[in-house]
Structure 1
Amino acid sequence: MAGTQQSTDRYDALFIVSFGGPEGMEDVIPFLENVLRGRNVPRERMLEVAHHYEMFGGVSPINQQVRDLIEVLRPAMDDAGVDLPIYWGNRNWTPYIPDAIAQMRKDGVRSALALVLSGYSSYSGCRQYRENIADGLAEIGSDAPRIDKIRVFYNHPLFVKANVERLQTAIARLPAEHRDSCQIAYTAHSLPQSMADTSDYVKQLQETARLVSEGAGVSPERWELVYQSRSGRPQDPWLEPDILDHLDALAQDGSKAVVIAPIGFLSDHMEVLFDLDEEAVQKCAELGVAMQRASTVGTHSDFVAMLVELIQERLDSDQERRAIGQYGCNHDVCPMNCCPPPRRPTSGSQGSARPQSGAS
């Protein structure tokens, strides 16, 4: 049964914003060109990345996962009395952000809430999306809708709860003799150290990992935050340790089992599938370490309920704003100097072909 209808005078649409991904082999090269535009990456290296997509028929699962999320979010919003149409736009593939904004204007939308599918603060995970939206609004002109971004939610109790359940499910799939002693490797997308130094990305990830560990009854000595999907120039420092190096270290220390929990990702997109379900699985097999990979929150009911709460708190100033742990609720409006863009390589430098942070 639907709840009491809430006032939606402040906003008249929800705008879901994602990274985007190819949905066929013919899409892969144009998609990668979008991702890598403005970066000095040799074409032959880009083609190496294209091979990863070939292994999956050229289809990144991220677009379908957004469709699946919308499919469960719509009735959850209805049940909560939140009557807002849902629009969807991507940074790097169809449906594009500017096209979605143009459709909102055509439909008479005057103000929208942007739900960026990223739970942590960084340039690529927050500010760049705000820049993408601003560029789309600039294309429309003076009659474009106002678009405000929903806060990051790394420490929302329902986000933590969903990740706890995903972790516990993965632990339960290990052989019984390893469940109480297995190591937990929480993974997130690596970033350039210069980008990480000017954002709360690492601090927020550490807090999520700590909260999930406490919720799952995992002691501090059994978990570590590590990184995956490094890109960029080899000579530039990025966040470490890499997941594969960490697996080597665990094996050298005598660990017999590990659960990899990609808490930095919201859905099982291409980098999760390739870096963890292919490379990490192969590495653990070589090392003789039992491995399970926890699912991302995806369409978990607690995650969906959290999204509804985040919408409600912006529609109704009396709605409780929830967060747990050390840091409280994040800001709704980002400061001007928040998560500044990274320095780009000089024109003579060589880059890695792997798409930079957030690739799908």
Structure 2
Amino acid sequence: MPKQAVLLLAHGTPETVEQIPDYLRNVVSGRPMPEHVVEEIQHRYSLIGRSPLTELTLQQAGLTEAELARVGQPVQVYVGMRNWRPYIPDVVRQMRVDGVEEAAVICLAPQNSRTSVGLYRRAAQAEAGAIRIDFTDGWADHPLLAEAFAERLRDAQARIKAETGAYAPVLFTAHSVPARTVQPPAPDENQPRHWPGEGVDPYEKDARKTAELVAARVPEVPAWYFAFQSQGASGGPWIGPTVEATLDILASQSVKNLILQPIGFLCDHVEILYDVDIAFKEYAAGKGIHLERPESLNASATLARALANLAERGLKKLRTA
């Protein structure tokens, strides 16, 4: 029987503030980055100390490996990062050295965009060589993903109910992306965009679907909203609505307590620890809104079950192909 393994792919993050310029060059594929943007991102990292994304992702891999062993699928779970160490190509080469012949590959960005998740797929396949790969394109509607977020949201609702006497509305968020990467141009443009597949890029629909599934599992939520966060500094529009614009509207409707839950991120990193816990909380407070955030999934056992389930599916497909 071929030797099988699982590969989890994530964004990656530098270990120190000094590494951020090199890291950002990876993120933008070597394109020039304005110095003021680099300095701002360094400032944000300095305020949170460091991003724990790498260690939390490795922990998630360990939990997934343990869950697979528990259900009778004892395989090694590797972790590769697109923009920092351990880089995806290096990890896939190590898998070849280790004798891996088949791998279930899962991107830790559940909401699929062909232009972002697609980059992870290409990075893994470019080094795969003889390794046969089953790649999970998207898993935004996986019931265990929704349940993992719902568990965290229930805890947050219980806290805010104890503090205020009432449940709070929820603002779900996912990372924004440049509009040009997910929205086809107008039909009258001379050079229409050809996606690597049929139809509209699924990212926005996927993100809203995850939010809908989480909300359905927490019926005490009195109302919920959706926004895209962490718009970048590159030229051109990014998809919205923004969190700030949504907070403006909610403030005008006299909302005083609000839970913001990012459903596009699986662990703590700068877009949560700075963007949400510092920037959005300060912005909300300036509008008279007390903003709470549920705990991130991080070491969630339910998330590990979701990843193990996806891995089982992929490994089975490889065995029976």
Aligned to 2:190: none
C-alpha distance in structure 2 between counterparts of 1:104 and 1:316, whole Å:
19
Distance 2:115 2:173 in 1: 17
> Offset of 1:300 from its aligned partner?
1.3
Select which of 174, 181, 198 maps to 1:188. Answer: 174
Q: What does 1:236-275 correspond to in 2, within 5 Å?
A: 236-275=236-275
**Aligned residue in 2 for 1:298:** 298
Q: Which deviates further from its counterpart, 295-304 or 270-279?
A: 295-304
User: d(CA) in 2 for partners of 1:42 and 1:25?
Assistant: 17
Match of 1:206 in 2: 208
User: Where does the alignment leave 5 or more consecutive residues of structure 2 unmatched?
Assistant: 184-199
Q: Indicate how the Cα distance of structure 1 residues 267 and 179 shifts in structure 2: closer, same or farther if over 3 A, else same.
A: farther
Map Cα deviations across residues 3-35 of structure 1 (whole Å, 9 max, x no partner).
Answer: xxxxxx466111121111111233222212221
Q: Provide, for residues 108-151 of structure 1, a one-character-per-residue CA deviation record: whole Å limited to 9, x for no partner.
A: 212211121110111354111112123334xxxxx542222124
Change (3 A) 1:201 1:164: same
Matched residues, percent identical?
31
Using the alignment, how far apart are the partners of 1:175 and 1:313 within structure 2? Answer: 39
Supply the AA of the counterpart residue of 2:149. Answer: N
Q: What one-letter code is carried by the residue in structure 1 that aligns with 2:212?
A: R
Q: How far apart, CA to CA, are the structure 2 residues paired with 1:223 and 1:300? A: 23
Asked if the contact 1:260/1:293 (under 8 Å) is kept, the reply is yes
Calculate the TM-score normalised by the size of structure 2.
0.87
Q: Per-residue deviation at 1:81?
A: 1.0
Structure 1: 4+ residue segments shifted above 6 A: none
Match of 1:225 in 2: 226
Q: 1:43 aligns with which of 26, 35, 46?
A: 35
Alignment of 1:161-180 (within 5 A): 161-176=147-162, 178=164, 180=166
Query: What amino acid is aligned across from residue 156 of structure 1 in structure 2?
Result: H
TM-score (norm 1): 0.78
Contact 2:134 2:314 in 1 (8 A): no
- Equivalent position of 1:332 in the other structure: none
What SS does structure 2 have at the residue aligned with 1:66? helix
SS at match of 1:13: strand
Moved more, 272-281 or 307-316: 307-316
Please, which runs of 5 or more residues in structure 1 have no aligned partner?
Answer: 1-8, 138-142, 318-360
Residues in 2 aligned to 1:34 and 1:199: alpha-carbon distance in whole angstroms: 24
1:66 pairs, out of 47, 57, 64, with 57
The change in CA–CA distance for 1:169 and 1:181 in structure 2 (over 3 A counts) is closer
Following TM superposition, by how much is the alpha carbon of 1:181 offset from its aligned partner in structure 2, in angstroms? 5.1
Q: Indicate the SS of the match to 2:217.
A: helix
Given residue 302 of structure 1, which amino acid in structure 2 is its aligned partner?
Answer: T
**Which of 17, 20, 25 in structure 1 is aligned with 2:12?**
20
User: Is the Cα–Cα contact under 8 Å of residues 8 and 78 in structure 2 kept in the other structure?
Assistant: yes
CA 1:233/1:98 → structure 2, altered by over 3 Å: closer, same or farther? closer
Contact kept? 2:161, 2:167, Cα under 8 Å: no
How far apart are residue 313 of structure 1 and its match? 1.9
Q: CA deviation at 1:159?
A: 1.0
> Structure 2: which amino acid aligns with 1:26?
E
**Against the structure 1 CA distance between its residues 316 and 71, is the aligned structure 2 distance closer, same or farther, given a 3 Å change threshold?**
closer
